Amino acid sequence: MRSLRVDSRVTLPAADLAARAVRASGPGGQNVNKVASKVELRFDLPGTRALDAGVKARLAALARGRLDADGRIVVTSQAQRDQPQNLEDARAKLAVLVARALVPPRPRKPTRPTAAARERRLDAKSRRGATKRARRTLDD
């Protein structure tokens, strides 16, 4: 298997990737019972040296539903009836996933509510309190 180029800076080495062909599910007649066209592509996330710790953490969070017991990312493809096309599709899915993890999140700038927003909140609270007071029964 060859290396996977994610962008101009990051290339996942071939040693971190493993592909396996399995039988696909769904319709297809006898072909689906004979041909292993579905592809499972595994990426060794904990063992790779191509990504730094921050990118690994973001990638693990993005792919939490695709992690196996060893922490490897499993990407599958069975869109085509052809195994090489499914392999390329799985590689493209993995590249998109890694590219999303490469973008660091923007830091949040804490903001304060405006004076008008505070006033609206207090008005709503007082109106709600008045509604509840009006519902009370008078016990004299």
Whether residue 129 lies inside any domain: the answer is: no
Q: At residue 24, what are phi and psi to the nearest 5 degrees? A: -80, 160
Q: What is the mean pLDDT of residues 104-118?
A: 95
Percent of the chain with pLDDT over 90: 74
CATH code (residue 55)? 3.30.160.20
Residue 104 has pLDDT above 80, yes or no: yes
Q: Could you list the residue range(s) of the whole structural domain that residue 83 is in?
A: 4-102
The model's pTM: 0.75
Whether residue 90 lies inside any domain: the answer is: yes
**Number of structural domains in the chain:** 1
Whether residue 125 lies inside any domain: the answer is: no
The pLDDT value recorded for residue 137 is: 85
What's the rounded Cα separation, in Å, for the pair 83 and 7?
25
Give the CA distances from residue 135 to residues 86, 103, 127, 131, 140, in Å, rounded to whole numbers and listed in that order: 65, 54, 13, 7, 16
Whether residue 121 lies inside any domain: the answer is: no
Whether residue 116 lies inside any domain: the answer is: no
